[in-house]
Structure 1
Amino acid sequence: MAKRNFRKLDGILLLDKPFGLSSNKALQEARFLFAAEKAGHTGSLDPLASGMLPICFGEATKVSGFLLDADKHYLTTARFGYTSSTGDDEGEKRLIHADPQLTAETIEAALAQFRGEIQQVPPMYSALKKDGQPLYKLARQGLEIERPARTVQIHELTLQACTADSASLVVHCSKGTYIRSLVEDLGKVLGVGAYVTMLRRTWVAPFMAEPMYRLADLHNLAQQGSPALDQLLLPLDHALTHFPALNLTAAQAQLIQQGQKLRLELKAGLYRLYKQTATHLLFIGLGELNDQQLKAKRLLAY
């Protein structure tokens, strides 16, 4: 990519990551097109997965952790009869059952075991780390590391369609859920093996109804200049709509920004903080209220 001058830019881009591209490469391409000094994504998608990858520019990186913790929604296709060394189409396949002959009723019965709170062992081919090394790097060396099971929540697991050896599923799940592990575990319960042939993330909470933009869209708009691209960005507080808003006077906001506390008779918890200016309310970050004392939790620097 050609050298260019980068700029301070704050906002959230909902990128539709393409199949075959790593999340980091997609991030770097978007960052280059926006000429943003600082950028980060909120949870990797595998190269063989597509869909929503929220990218945080500038001060938005301060709220990215809340998107990492958010619910996710996926469409996936499971292939039965085989297992894969990576849990997806990229790995080495092993035949388990040559003719699964599964029915919708059989698959539905198995799916029932995976709804609600479940225990899940993360896959070796993941970005989780052991002694500072990503597990996928160890897996490529032929190493298998014991991984403790984790509790995850499957809010929705719906069978959309199926054949004798495949199933299309809709999954709404909590943070930390691995769809590859879910499909592999489904294959074990059915006794026929399974791996993921398609995975698409359709939304990350709270962006259930927001549009996504492809890299091709960004390239086209980049020819019109930065303003055309910048109009695609969401304000930072859009990532935090599940927290109540709290409007502060300029004097109150100044105290919070100076590290002092405010006494407020409100319910304990996190609040989106807005500062009253001469013309509008300005989002300044997150505050935490305990024992009727409000203090800064994560403030922005404009």
Structure 2
Amino acid sequence: MSQETTPARTFDFETGEVLLLDKPLTWTSFDVVRKVKNTLRIKKIGHAGTLDPLATGLLILCTGKKTKQIDLIQAQEKEYTGTFRLGQTTPSFDLETPVDAELPYAHLTPEQLQAAALAFTGLIQQTPPLYSAVKINGERAYEVARRGDTAEIKSKEVTIKEFELTGIALPDVHFRVVCTKGTYIRSLARDFGQHLGCGAHLTRLVRTRIGEYRVEDALTLETLEALRPPRPEGETGRPARQPKPRRPEQRAGLEYFQASSAPTDSDPADSAS
């Protein structure tokens, strides 16, 4: 039953809960863990599978004794929906970095696209992006990338159980993927574009499922605020502090995304605000 639609349910976070969250855009998985930990005053908490800052959807948090289930949950298959943009590549394989090459794509047929999806179904070799949390000599790969350095990342075997093209509106291709742990959908975008000879990058990604856990059953962070426990009786509150503005785009290295998505003077959304 949906956690979102059962407000009368009581949670015992200290004993242990498996908490489903719908991660907001630009938040890192650590941002969400810290927010939940501080909001609900939980001592022991961790997430069962990272989501990139530019991905949204299901993020599973385990608290208390349920943190012992993290490895088990992480090992389950994942389902994603999203969009690849053909004809353009970026160093990060997504919108975190600007386009660095453009190639023709208009000649591609739906049959060629379907054949490319079939080519990446099953057991495949995949190289994680340099803009990722993979460790290189004890350092996160994205730290190397954001310095402007390069490094070699070893490929690994992953399984794409299902790769369905749900819509084609060139240059955009919409998809649904079911895959095993450790699969990078950004790398799948890169490889899909290379296979077609036109390049591609990921412009949208939603994690819809981990095992039997589904995003439609997840809580939003706004709903989570209502679960904040009262202060223990007799405990005096700390003096109020001016909250610092949250800047996830800086911690996540999303300066380009932040700048490119900012409204302009001619943007209707800007004039309506």
Q: TM-score, normalised by structure 2?
A: 0.76
1:102 touches 1:163 (CA, 8 Å); kept in 2? no
Please point out which of 32, 35, 45 is paired with 1:29.
Answer: 35
Q: Distance in 2 between matches of 1:67 and 1:124?
A: 26
Please tell me whether residue 122 in structure 1 is matched to residue 150 in structure 2.
Answer: no
Query: For residue 96 of structure 2, what is the amino acid of its counterpart?
Result: E
Please tell me whether residue 43 in structure 1 is matched to residue 31 in structure 2.
Answer: no
**Alpha-carbon deviation of 1:136?**
0.6
SS of 1:109's partner is: helix
Q: Distance in 1 between matches of 2:165 and 2:175?
A: 5
**Alpha-carbon deviation of 1:95?**
2.9
Query: For residue 139 of structure 2, what is the amino acid of its counterpart?
Result: Q
Please tell me whether residue 216 in structure 1 is matched to residue 240 in structure 2.
Answer: no
Percent identity between the aligned chains? 37
1:9 touches 1:37 (CA, 8 Å); kept in 2? no
Aligned to 1:107: 113
Q: Distance in 2 between matches of 1:51 and 1:209?
A: 6
Aligned to 2:17: 11
Aligned to 2:92: 86
Please tell me whether residue 171 in structure 1 is matched to residue 181 in structure 2.
Answer: no
2:55 touches 2:206 (CA, 8 Å); kept in 1? yes
CA 98–13 in structure 1, closer or farther in 2 if over 3 Å, else same: same
1:80 touches 1:100 (CA, 8 Å); kept in 2? no
SS of 1:77's partner is: strand
Please tell me whether residue 96 in structure 1 is matched to residue 102 in structure 2.
Answer: yes
CA 132–112 in structure 1, closer or farther in 2 if over 3 Å, else same: same
Q: Distance in 1 between matches of 2:116 and 2:59?
A: 30
**Alpha-carbon deviation of 1:219?**
1.5
Q: TM-score, normalised by structure 1?
A: 0.69
Please tell me whether residue 56 in structure 1 is matched to residue 51 in structure 2.
Answer: no
Deviations 1:210-248 (CA, angstroms, capped at 9, x unpaired):
7111101112343x869xxxxxxxxxxxxxxxxxxxxxx
Larger of the two Rg values belongs to structure: 1
1:71 touches 1:172 (CA, 8 Å); kept in 2? yes
- State the structure with bigger RCO (CA 8 A, min sep 6), 1 or 2: 2
Please tell me whether residue 137 in structure 1 is matched to residue 140 in structure 2.
Answer: no
**Alpha-carbon deviation of 1:88?**
0.5
Q: Distance in 2 between matches of 1:127 and 1:45?
A: 11
